[in-house]
């Protein structure tokens, strides 16, 4: 989902975007490696898997539970006096939480902020902005499912058949939707 780099709202470009794992970028890197005669092949076996599907299908389930990983786009909580770790409310943290939920796994690593706090997330702050952006995209896709085809194509060349990209994005959005539909935003 993040690799496809579809802006969640019309205003989410620039700093909210990355292209380092976009399939077109991988293809350009492969072309560079081929031209250099390096013998290196880029293979992404997870290209059409959601994060939740990857967690669920992982053959070494103990690795999921015991390995410390970082997904957060702003892991430093030093200004809040909470130390480093997952913030809980950025796009990668939301996708991570949705993946663990979809895979039926408990993420043992704490989040500095609980997006399910009953007081709600203020949509005028950074803590609520990404939830609101996901809710915007979810509603947009419900009202106009064909939007996704154009949106995927706008992020970079993907060839003639984008159906698998559309399907993985739809499944990813559904994982996120199942997580955030009960998040209270104010």
Q: What pTM was computed for the model?
A: 0.87
Which of 3-17, 26-40, 53-67, 125-139 shows the lowest per-residue confidence on average (mean pLDDT)? 3-17
Tell me the C-alpha distance between 148 and 164, whole Å.
Answer: 12
- Burial pattern 90-124, b for ≥16 Cβ within 10 A else e, equals bbbbbbbbbbbbbbebebeeebbbebeeeeebeee
pLDDT computed for residue 127 by the predictor: 81
- Mean pLDDT value across residues 33-40: 96
Q: Is the pLDDT of residue 175 over 70?
A: yes
- Mean pLDDT value across residues 117-136: 82
Task: Give me the numbers of helices (H) and strands (E) for the chain, helices first please.
Answer: 7, 2
- Burial pattern 30-59, b for ≥16 Cβ within 10 A else e, equals eeeeeeeeeeeeeeeeeeebbbbbebbeee
Let me know: does 158 contact 23? Beta carbons within 8 Å: yes
Query: In which residue are the tokens 């698998």 written?
Result: 164
pLDDT computed for residue 126 by the predictor: 79
State whether the Cα torsion 119-114-141-101 is positive or negative: negative
Tell me the C-alpha distance between 145 and 173, whole Å.
Answer: 12
pLDDT computed for residue 79 by the predictor: 66
């Amino acid at each position: 989902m993040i690799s496809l780099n579809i802006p969640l709202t019309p205003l989410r470009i620039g700093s909210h975007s990355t292209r380092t794992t976009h399939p077109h970028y991988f293809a350009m890197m492969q072309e560079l490696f081929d031209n250099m005669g390096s013998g290196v092949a880029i293979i992404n076996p997870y290209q059409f898997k959601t994060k939740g599907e990857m967690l669920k299908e992982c053959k070494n389930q103990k690795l999921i539970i015991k390995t410390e990983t970082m997904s957060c786009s702003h892991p430093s909580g030093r200004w809040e006096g909470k130390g480093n770790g997952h913030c809980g409310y950025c796009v990668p943290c939301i996708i991570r939480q949705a993946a663990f939920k979809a895979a039926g796994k408990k993420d043992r690593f704490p989040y500095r902020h609980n997006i399910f706090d009953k007081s709600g997330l203020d949509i005028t702050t950074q803590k609520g902005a990404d939830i609101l952006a996901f809710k915007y995209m979810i509603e947009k896709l419900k009202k106009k499912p064909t939007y996704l085809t154009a949106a995927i194509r706008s992020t970079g060349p993907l060839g003639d058949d984008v159906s698998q990209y559309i399907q993985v994005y739809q499944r990813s959005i559904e994982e996120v939707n199942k997580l955030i539909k009960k998040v209270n935003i104010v």
